């Protein structure tokens, strides 16, 4: 028997409210201790927000579930303190291969550009990610109440009142703001009678987490109509601990309970492997999926993130990755509202920006699913023709779609952006997620993104760091919403009291089209929201006001 994961059991503790304490009131309560809820909780602590997490279970998710974590999600996990653990344990990959029958028709590389801290994708079973997030929450002082099930939600004008059920009884709890990260079936959403609309895909897929020794490379392999599973598709991923994730398309008429039985799963796997190697089944499940979202993600003082707000098919790894990006967008805005530094309408932009991102994900996910599982003879004929042509013709390879993988959204149309008045080349336009690049700090190698985030910053590019206007740096700090200067220069040097990074390889300049005097206003979630060829305090304050709905 090969090694399998041992699921932790987290300690339930009787809440103070059930021991005679008065009903509590918290600034932020999060429902759901999955990847999205726990990431949101850590982000709250980074911003100094006291936060309470409620979960109706007392362990991590069973099975691999959310498996692939994309570069942008890894960068956010870096910011909250678990990126290193995920990358160390996970399987790094960036090459995907697609087969039709027995022949390869297409391959892609997620990270053709060198000099980024994080890989294009890391595979790691969701239970490991949740375990690392729980451990980090404990270090950061996040209170998590296990086996605390929310059974009633009552939104009011100045709070949200909850009824919470525990093994010791039911208690009341008030929250200034409630973040619902309670999954696709979202009890909170259902209690509030809120709709979620979209498309249900009439197909079934079998997931098998298989523990075995295999020398397959750490790549994503996807088959259309393979000889071992005719007229259907199969996906293979490598995970940690010699676990391999295999997804078999079954068709809508398949009986889920029958298909999950070992006597039906094992022959499929043996046919795929084509040899007599030993393996064990760690987890088996049958799933269907939907592409849908709520009309908006904020409803008064209740905010929705992750699967509670939007769902996509698993093809493209857009579920957990998108949910983690939701929290990245939400928490800094909530902090400003809680501190009275921004109006509540700033949270409307959370919904606007992340609804835009959800629509991108749903569009790409739907296109992938329609290609993978054509629902008419004409669609299947077209799909198979594309796959046949792709074996010999480059133009057809662009049409092959076995899952367009998760990439971050550009909030190019966001009202929080200050439009360009100067000419720039490249991708770092207002609304763009920051590009990473190698830098030196006091001669030590590091990465640009490790010095960005959690507050507003002004990235100042200077040929000579000694020439940076110290009056501007101080005025930025003294602004109503402080802005921290981040100086980047091709030269080594230092500026007292300011982070100074050396662009030794010139890649910050190249990726940002930066030259002496260029300035980039960075949001706390590492998105650019303004840029100039020369900055002054009036411009920066106006852009910050716009980025916080104070303009």
**Residue-wise pLDDT tens digits, 66-98:** 889 999 999 999 999 999 999 999 999 989 999
Please determine, for residue 354, whether its predicted confidence score (pLDDT) is greater than 90.
yes
Nearest to 64 by CA among 281, 296, 372: 281
- Residue 232 is given by DSSP the state S
pLDDT at site 364: 82
| pLDDT bracket for residue 394 (50, 70, 90) | confident
Look at residue 111 and tell me whether its pLDDT is greater than 60. yes
Length of the chain, in residues: 551
- pLDDT at site 326: 98
Query: Domain 16-89+123-195+292-361 is in which class?
Result: alpha beta
Q: Please compute, for residue 287, the number of CA atoms within 13 A of its CA located in the half-sphere on the CB side.
A: 17
Name the 3-class secondary structure at 526: coil
CB 369 within 8 A of CB 352: no
From the number of C-beta atoms within 10 Å of its C-beta (0-12, 13-18, 19+), residue 165 rates as middle
Question: Is the pLDDT higher at 516 or at 114?
Answer: 516
Sequence ranges of the chain with CATH classification 3.40.30.120: 438-547
> 3-state class of 217 per DSSP?
coil
**pLDDT of amino acid 3:** 63
335-364: average pLDDT = 96
CA angle 352, 353, 359 (to 5 degrees): 90
* Contact status, residue 365 vs residue 373, Cβ threshold 8 Å: no
Query: In this predicted model, what pLDDT tens digit does every residue of 418-448 receive, in sequence order?
Result: 999 999 999 999 999 999 999 999 999 999 9
Least confident piece of the model among 43-52, 269-278, 468-477, 527-536? 269-278
Of 133-137, 316-320, 373-377, 527-531, minimum mean pLDDT range: 316-320
Rg (CA), the chain: 25
Cα–Cα distance for residue pair 465/459, rounded to 1 Å: 12
The two most distant CA atoms of the chain are separated, in Å, by 74
User: How far, rounded to the nearest angstrom, does the alpha carbon of residue 227 sit from its chain's CA centroid?
Assistant: 35
Mean pLDDT of the region 311-321: 80
Q: Which residue has the higher pLDDT, 181 or 110?
A: 181
Mean per-residue pLDDT, 187-216: 91
Give the tens place of pLDDT for each residue, 480-529.
999 999 999 999 988 888 999 999 999 999 999 999 999 999 999 999 99
Residue recorded with tokens 């059920």: 165
Residue at token pair 């850590």: 42
Residue 433 CA, distance from chain mean position: 13
pLDDT at 1 over 60: no
Of 204-218, 394-408, 475-489, where does the model show the most confidence?
A: 475-489
238-282 per-position pLDDT tens digit: 999 999 999 999 999 999 999 999 999 999 999 999 878 889 999
Name the residue with tokens 């040929």: 463
User: What is the spatial distance between Cα 418 and Cα 428, in angstroms, rounded to a whole number?
Assistant: 13
Task: Answer yes or no: is pLDDT of 51 > 60.
Answer: yes
CB neighbours of residue 9 within 10 Å: 11
pLDDT band at 113 (very low <50, low <70, confident <90, very high): confident
CA distance 77 to 85: 10
Where do the CATH 3.50.50.60 domains begin and end in the chain?
A: 16-89+123-195+292-361
Nearest of 316, 315, 318 to residue 293 by alpha carbon = 318
pTM, to two decimals: 0.95
Task: Locate all alpha helices (DSSP H) within 410-482, ordered by sequence.
Answer: 470-477
Average model confidence (pLDDT) for the chain?
A: 93
The pLDDT assigned to 63 comes to: 87
Q: How confident is the model at residue 102 (pLDDT cuts 50, 70, 90)?
A: confident
Inter-CA distances, 276 with 4, 239, 266, Å: 21, 21, 12
CA torsion 371-376-381-383 (nearest 10°) is 0
Please tell me the distance from the alpha carbon of residue 489 to that of residue 439, in angstroms, as a whole number. 10
Mean local confidence (pLDDT), 313-341? 91
For residue 502, is it left (φ>0), alpha (ψ between -120 and 50) or beta? Answer: beta
User: For residue 2, is pLDDT > 60?
Assistant: no
CB atoms within 10 A of CB 161: 16
CATH topology of domain 438-547: Glutaredoxin (3.40.30)
> Distance between CA 288 and CA 491 in Å, rounded?
55
The Cα–Cα gap between 220 and 236 comes to 6
Q: Region 361-378: what's the mean pLDDT?
A: 84
With beta carbons less than 8 A apart as the criterion, state whether 2 and 136 touch: no
């Amino acid at each position: 028997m090969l090694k399998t994961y041992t699921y932790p059991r987290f300690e339930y503790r009787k809440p103070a409210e059930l021991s005679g304490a008065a009903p509590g009131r918290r600034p932020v309560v999060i429902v759901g201790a999955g990847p999205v809820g726990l990431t949101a909780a850590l982000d709250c602590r980074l911003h100094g927000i006291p936060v309470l997490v409620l979960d109706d279970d007392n362990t991590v998710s069973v099975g691999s579930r959310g498996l692939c974590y994309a570069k942008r999600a890894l960068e956010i996990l870096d910011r909250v303190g678990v990126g290193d653990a995920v990358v160390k344990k996970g399987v790094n990959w960036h090459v995907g291969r697609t087969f039709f029958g027995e022949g390869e028709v297409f391959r892609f590389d997620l990270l053709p550009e060198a000099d980024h801290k994080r890989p294009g994708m890391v595979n790691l079973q969701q239970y490991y990610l949740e375990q690392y997030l729980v451990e980090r929450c404990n270090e950061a002082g996040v209170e998590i109440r296990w086996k605390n099930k929310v059974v009633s939600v009552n939104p009011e004008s100045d709070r949200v009142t909850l009824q919470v059920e525990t093994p010791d009884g039911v208690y009341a709890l008030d929250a200034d703001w409630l973040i619902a990260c309670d999954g696709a079936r979202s009890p909170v959403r259902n209690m509030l009678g809120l709709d979620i609309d979209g498309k249900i895909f009439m197909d079934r897929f079998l997931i098998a987490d298989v523990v075995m020794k295999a020398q397959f490379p750490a790549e994503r392999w996807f088959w259309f109509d393979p000889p071992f599973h005719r007229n259907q598709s199969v996906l293979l991923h490598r995970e940690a601990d010699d676990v391999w994730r295999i997804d078999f398309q079954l068709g809508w008429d398949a009986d889920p309970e029958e298909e999950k039985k070992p006597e039906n799963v094992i022959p499929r796997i043996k046919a795929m492997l084509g040899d007599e190697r030993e393996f064990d089944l760690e987890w088996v499940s049958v799933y269907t999926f939907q592409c849908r979202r709520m009309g908006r993600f904020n409803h008064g003082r209740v905010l929705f993130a992750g699967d509670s707000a939007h769902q996509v098919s698993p093809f493209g790894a857009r579920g957990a990755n998108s949910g983690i990006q939701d929290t990245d967008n939400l928490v800094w805005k909530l902090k400003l509202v809680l501190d009275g530094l921004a109006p509540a309408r700033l949270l409307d932009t959370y919904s606007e920006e992340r609804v835009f991102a959800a629509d991108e994900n749903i569009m790409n996910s739907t296109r992938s699913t329609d290609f993978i599982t054509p629902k008419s003879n004409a669609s299947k004929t077209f799909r198979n023709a594309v796959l046949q042509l792709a074996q010999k013709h480059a133009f057809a390879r662009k049409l092959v779609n076995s899952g367009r993988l998760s990439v971050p959204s550009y909030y190019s149309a966001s009202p929080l952006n200050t439009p360009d008045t100067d000419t720039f080349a490249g991708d770092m336009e207002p609304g763009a997620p920051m590009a990473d690049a190698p830098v030196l700090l006091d001669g030590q190698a590091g990465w640009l993104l490790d010095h960005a985030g959690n507050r507003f910053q002004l990235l100042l590019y200077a040929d000579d760091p000694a020439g940076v206007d110290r009056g501007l740096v101080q005025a930025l700090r003294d602004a109503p919403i402080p802005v921290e200067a981040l100086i980047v220069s091709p030269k080594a040097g230092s500026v007292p009291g300011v982070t100074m990074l050396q662009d030794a390889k010139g890649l910050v300049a190249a990726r940002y089209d930066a030259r002496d005097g260029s300035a980039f206003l960075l949001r706390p979630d590492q998105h650019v929201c303004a840029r100039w060829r020369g900055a002054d305090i009036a411009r920066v304050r106006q852009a910050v006001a716009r980025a916080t709905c104070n303009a």
